[in-house]
Copies of this chain bind each other. A is one copy, B any other.
Amino acid sequence: MATYKLLLLPGDGIGTEVMAEVKRLIAWMNQHGLGTFETEEGLVGGAAYDAEGVAISDATMARAQASDAVIFGAVGGPKWADVPYEARPEAGLLRLRKDLALYANLRPAICYPALADASSLKREVVDGLDIMIVRELTGGVYFGEPKTIVDLGNGQKRAIDTQVYDTYEIERIGRVAFELARKRRNKVASMEKRNVMKSGVLWNEVMTALHAREFKDVELEHVLADAGGMQLVRWPKQFDVIVTDNLFGDLLSDVASMLTGSLGMLPSASLGDVDPATGTRKSMYEPVHGSAPDIQGKGIANPIAMLASFAMALRYSFGLGKEADFIETAIANTLDKGLRTADIKSEGTTVVGTREMGQAVIDEV
């Protein structure tokens, strides 16, 4: 059995708390011969800034490059509100995404049956929901230049951000979406604002051409991003795979998170291209939630998004789809038994902390 090298970057706030549960899951899998994982740890975000003065050091980046997958917790918090922009905690996350060329961010939004009553939406709207948001992660307004604030004098400043997309960037994320759709319900909704943005015009054009050339068997629909946000709330089950740019993906996936009961449920995978020489790809796995400074240290954070992110690592980086299924089934079973962390509690369920929830999932695997 191959040995996989994981770099764990717990980060800040509840990042370290939910990462602790993944560590125990990994130890358990190693013990039971379900994989051979070697782990090392590194600093990112505010923790890295406090220790090293940057949001992620070159040395940590080198270890990320050398690892088979990065497992990421969460970064940020009010403690670092005043650090220089370039060293803010989020900069560590953005550098990882960019330097590892992790252009494909997969954000599944699944409503576990046991949680169909936990969200603000009506049960029939979310029950059985299973959509996959494919967000472009290394382009657009997140990285385009110029990105600057200039002083115009007289107390006036001008802020500039630039959204840039090239054909090849749209094509490769489109390909990820279409290929995923083929293994699911064969439908892709591409979301942009072509009525206002030139990047939307190009996005639409490239998706249309790619579809006609390589994916005619998949159903493709173009949806304006604002209407898409609305439809996600109105009737989300109309969607299978949604593909969209970096900024729209950020917003739309947060909206989608509310369909699943809690942000604490949502895992994500960030993938680069498969290297034809080795057959491997750079990858990072992280929960969609943040560092939640308000509940930090209380031991009540929901570890499910983090554990489910590790399951995605098994599936997308190591070809261990069956083992990934085990973990996901274990999560569903734990919820079916009525165990809940505080963020997803409801009448008649048993509220437990991070550690108990993590242990309960491991016990189910």
- The chain A residues found within 8 Å of chain B, CB to CB, are 76, 85, 88, 90, 94, 120-122, 125, 141-142, 144, 147-149, 152, 155-168, 193, 195-199, 201-203, 225-227, 229-230, 232-235, 247-248, 250-255, 257-259, 263
Contacts and interface: CB of A to CB of B under 8 A. Distances in A.
A262 to B, nearest CB: 9
Contacts of A85: 201
Given A85-B201, A159-B201, A201-B149, A230 B164 contact: no
A230 B166 contact: no
A266 to B, nearest CB: 11
25 contacts: A120-B125, A120-B233, A121-B233, A141-B161, A141-B163, A144-B160, A148-B198, A149-B201, A152-B166, A156-B166, A156-B168, A157-B167, A158-B166, A159-B164, A159-B166, A160-B162, A160-B164, A161-B197, A226-B254, A229-B252, A230-B254, A230-B257, A232-B255, A233-B233, A255-B255
A251 B233 contact: no
A156 B149 CA distance: 30
A229 B158 CA distance: 26
A75 to B, nearest CB: 10
Number of copies: 2
Nearest to A257: B230
A192 to B, nearest CB: 10
A125 B198 CA distance: 37
A167 B144 CA distance: 21
Nearest to A125: B120
Given A90-B196, A147-B197, A232-B255, 4 more contacts: A144-B160, A149-B201, A226-B253, A248-B251
A226 B198 contact: no
Listed residue (A161, A229, A247) with the most chain B CB atoms within 10 angstroms of its CB: A161
